[in-house]
């Protein structure tokens, strides 16, 4: 009997170790999708991490699969089949469809609930540590302290200028530009977007030090999109986390009005400040694009989208990533990037955006959480400006948040996860 207990304990220890390893690998994949500079040009990193992760998780596919997980995996398969199979270019893209999309995401969906919680916590902690150190370097940089650096370049897109790479900090090497905080990521907007989503998932609890770090990163990024996500996310969380919805809706609009009044007043007081120029001025209305800050697409792309795209058959399934990248209206090197929900529609068509929304909606439905529904709305708002919902960092955070925010299971942000194998 003692030998049996020893074997079971040993097996449980191995499973716990493999579980933690798989979560660490997922964090590596998530950071890779955010274009963290240490992984620039190293595609092999993500495929190596995925291969090891899938190999590890094969060991865990022995427990009974719930109906919700089975349905989620089915719609995951449908979604990626529509997005990928109609635009296959070669055997490499077929391999990417199978490994990076179907197998990887399905195995994440099949994680145990406690593993999904731990994934969100682990990524948040690593993210906050990196950003926290970056903020210290950023403050020293602003104070004029001489820090060692080297010049690096992101070869994935020639629209980006060179960067000065300081310890845990990237600064755009472009004379005359306003210095914005982007930590170790490609754009300040990428940092701000993920920080805003993490704030919602962490409940905006000011008792948690990580919330202050996330807030500081958003403010220092000077990203209008991040500011909008911060405000709307806080309002959504405030409304969804209450039984007295109508009262909180009224209060939320009052708070929003107060923020607008303060912002406009500050702009009138100091129209030449960095905040006024990068944030308030971009809220000005433009007849062509609505808000002036809605500048995520170029004129040539807008012309194609509005005058040609919907007149052909491509509007159903899209032109595909390859044609998009090779077209003057798609790539627009030298004219600025194209990052809008319209880009996703052009790449994958109306059917593509339908199956994307269907997957997220089905997953939200099966978890029946008001807070998760609020997060879905926040994702849709974020997608409007940056169509990155299928970046592994956003996708996996959403999958994990379904358990992390589950009102019937998760009540205290200071919970202790206990997993039994």
Q: Give the start-to-end residue ranges of the domains of the chain.
A: 2-241+296-404
What pLDDT is recorded for position 24? Answer: 97
Cα–Cα distance measured from residue 213 to residue 203, given in angstroms and rounded to the nearest whole number: 14
Tell me if 389 sits within 8 A of 383, measured CB to CB.
yes
CA 193-104-11 angle, 5° bins? 115
Gyration radius of the chain over CA positions: 22
Residue found under tokens 């593509």: 352
pLDDT in tens, the chain (421 residues): 454 444 445 556 788 999 999 999 999 999 999 999 999 999 999 999 999 999 999 988 766 788 899 999 999 999 999 999 998 888 888 988 999 999 999 999 999 999 999 999 999 999 999 999 999 999 999 999 999 999 999 987 767 889 999 999 999 987 767 889 999 999 999 999 999 999 999 999 888 899 999 999 999 998 888 998 998 998 899 888 876 655 556 565 555 555 555 555 544 545 555 555 555 555 554 555 555 555 567 778 888 888 888 887 788 999 998 888 888 776 654 444 567 888 999 999 999 999 999 999 999 999 988 899 999 999 999 998 889 999 999 999 999 999 988 743 445 444 334 344 4
Model pTM score: 0.86
What is the average pLDDT value for the chain, to the nearest integer? 83
HSE, side-chain direction, 13 A CA sphere, residue 129 = 6
What pLDDT is recorded for position 240? Answer: 85
Tell me if 137 sits within 8 A of 168, measured CB to CB.
yes
Cα–Cα distance measured from residue 233 to residue 256, given in angstroms and rounded to the nearest whole number: 12
Residue found under tokens 């704030």: 199
Provide the terminal-to-terminal Cα distance of the chain, rounded to the nearest Å. Answer: 19
Task: Quick: pLDDT tens for 186-234.
Answer: 999 999 999 999 999 999 988 889 999 999 999 999 888 899 899 899 8
> 141-156 burial by CB neighbour count: b if 16+ within 10 A, else e?
beeeeeeebeeeebee
Residue 1 burial (CB < 10 Å; 0-12/13-18/19+)? exposed
Tell me if 318 sits within 8 A of 341, measured CB to CB.
no
Report strand pairing: 150-152 vs 169-172: unpaired
User: Nearest CA to 26 among 392, 370, 384?
Assistant: 392
């Amino acid at each position: 009997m003692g030998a049996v207990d020893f074997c079971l304990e040993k097996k449980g220890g191995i499973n716990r170790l493999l579980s933690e390893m798989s979560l660490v690998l997922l964090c590596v994949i998530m950071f890779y999708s955010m274009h963290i500079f240490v992984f620039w040009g190293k595609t092999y990193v993500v495929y190596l991490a995925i291969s090891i992760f899938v190999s590890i998780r094969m060991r865990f596919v022995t427990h009974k699969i719930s109906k919700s997980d089975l349905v989620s995996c089915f719609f995951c398969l449908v979604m990626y089949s529509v997005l990928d199979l109609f635009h296959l270019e070669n055997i490499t893209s077929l391999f990417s469809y199978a490994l990076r999309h179907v197998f990887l995401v399905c195995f994440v969906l099949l994680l145990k609930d406690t593993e999904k919680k731990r994934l969100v916590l682990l990524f948040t902690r690593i993210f906050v540590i990196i950003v926290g150190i970056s903020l210290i370097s950023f403050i020293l940089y602003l104070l004029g302290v001489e820090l060692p650096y080297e010049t690096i370049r992101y070869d994935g897109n020639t629209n980006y200028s060179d960067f000065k790479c300081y310890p845990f900090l990237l600064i755009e090497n472009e004379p005359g530009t306003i210095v914005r905080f982007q930590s170790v990521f490609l754009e300040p907007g990428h940092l701000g977007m993920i920080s805003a989503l993490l704030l919602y998932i962490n409940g905006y609890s000011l008792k948690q030090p990580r919330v202050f770090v996330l807030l500081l990163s958003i403010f220092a990024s000077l990203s209008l999109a991040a500011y909008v996500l911060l405000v709307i996310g806080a309002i959504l969380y405030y409304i969804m986390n209450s039984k007295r919805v109508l009262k909180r809706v009224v209060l939320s609009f009052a708070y929003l009005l107060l923020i607008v009044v303060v912002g406009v007043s500050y702009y009138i007081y100091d129209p030449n400040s960095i905040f006024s120029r990068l944030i308030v001025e971009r809220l000005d209305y433009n007849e062509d694009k609505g808000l002036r800050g809605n500048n995520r697409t170029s004129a040539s792309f807008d012309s194609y989208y509005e005058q040609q795209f919907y007149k052909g058959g491509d509007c159903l399934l899209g032109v595909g990533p390859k044609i998009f990248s090779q077209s003057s209206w798609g790539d627009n090197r030298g004219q600025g990037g194209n990052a809008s929900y319209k880009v996703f529609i052009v790449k994958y068509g109306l059917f593509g955006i339908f199956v994307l929304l269907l997957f997220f909606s089905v997953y939200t439905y099966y978890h029946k959480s008001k807070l998760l529904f609020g997060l879905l709305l926040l994702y849709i708002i974020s997608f409007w400006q940056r169509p990155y919902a299928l970046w592994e960092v956003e996708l996996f955070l959403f999958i994990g948040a379904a358990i992390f925010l589950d009102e019937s299971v998760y009540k205290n942000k200071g919970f202790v996860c206990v997993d039994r194998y």
